[in-house]
Amino acid sequence: MPLLDVRNLSRVYVSGQQRVFALRNISFEVDSGEFMSIMGPSGSGKSTLMNVLGCLDRPTDGDYLINGRSVLELRTGELADLRGGEIGFVFQTFNLIPSLSAQSNVEVPMMYRGHPARVRRTRALEALERVGIEHRADHLPSQLSGGEQQRVALARALSTDPALILADEPTGNLDSETSKSIMQLLSRINESTGVTIIQVTHDDDMATYGERLVSLYDGEITEDEHLNHPTAADGSSEGVTV
């Protein structure tokens, strides 16, 4: 059974008497442990697809199953539990709370799930250590570089041991060298923990991290290919085909 199963999915927005298709009859599966990149020009449907995959939006037609269960059958509270426990989110703008330390930012998802303070602290520090920034646990976001903030955001996504991480332009606000280090980190986490990662990116080089590349155009999948030699965690990309 695939982790994600997208079946003939469409998302239509209505503006006056006009119907705008953000997604058109999309179908694909994602196995547990995959690292997939989604690419496409602005307006291709990437953000809409990520919102549906993250259970932040519902499709107009078709179906979307996680571990064999249709999200269309889930109530609002069940969807919230699914997002909070099974899906970790990483955003281009980091979305850290400015008044909280790095550790406290990582604890936020666990607070919503009702974990005791001692458990939150332990798991937050473990997550920060996993991304190599435990020494900055007491620092505010304003005291961290962009790369460090994104590592905190990644630690936050990992704190609930999700099955899936959705990364929306995770290197969009970073310089090229920092972008490479973040992508190498994502690759190592994917390899060491088996967590499934789906990222949206505009960057051809960043898209080669992982094993699969899906291209969107006008709400449709135009290409879905497995990379022969995905970019390695050490940053090498010899033999990559896109």
pLDDT tens for residues 184-197? 999 999 999 999 99
Answer whether 121's CB lies under 8 Å from 128's CB: no
Cα separations in angstroms, 87 against 36, 73, 82, 224: 15, 18, 7, 23
Residue 96: predicted pLDDT: 97
Residue 198: predicted pLDDT: 97
Residue from 135, 139, 136, 110 nearest 122 by CA: 110
Residue 6: predicted pLDDT: 97
HSE of 134 in the Cβ direction (CA atoms, 13 Å)?
11
Say what the pTM is. 0.91
Residue 168: predicted pLDDT: 93
pLDDT-flagged residues of the chain (< 70): 229-242
H/E run at residue 86: helix 76-86
Answer whether 49's CB lies under 8 Å from 23's CB: yes
For residue 232, the 8-state DSSP code is: P
Q: How is domain 30-59+68-226 classified at the architecture level of CATH?
A: 3-Layer(aba) Sandwich (3.40)
Per-residue pLDDT tens digits for 21-38: 999 999 999 999 999 999
Residue from 138, 240, 232 nearest 183 by CA: 232
Residue 238: predicted pLDDT: 42
Helix, strand or coil for residue 205? helix
Residue 191: predicted pLDDT: 93
Cβ burial 102-114 (10 Å sphere, 16+ → b, else e): bbbbbbebbeeee
Residue 210: predicted pLDDT: 84
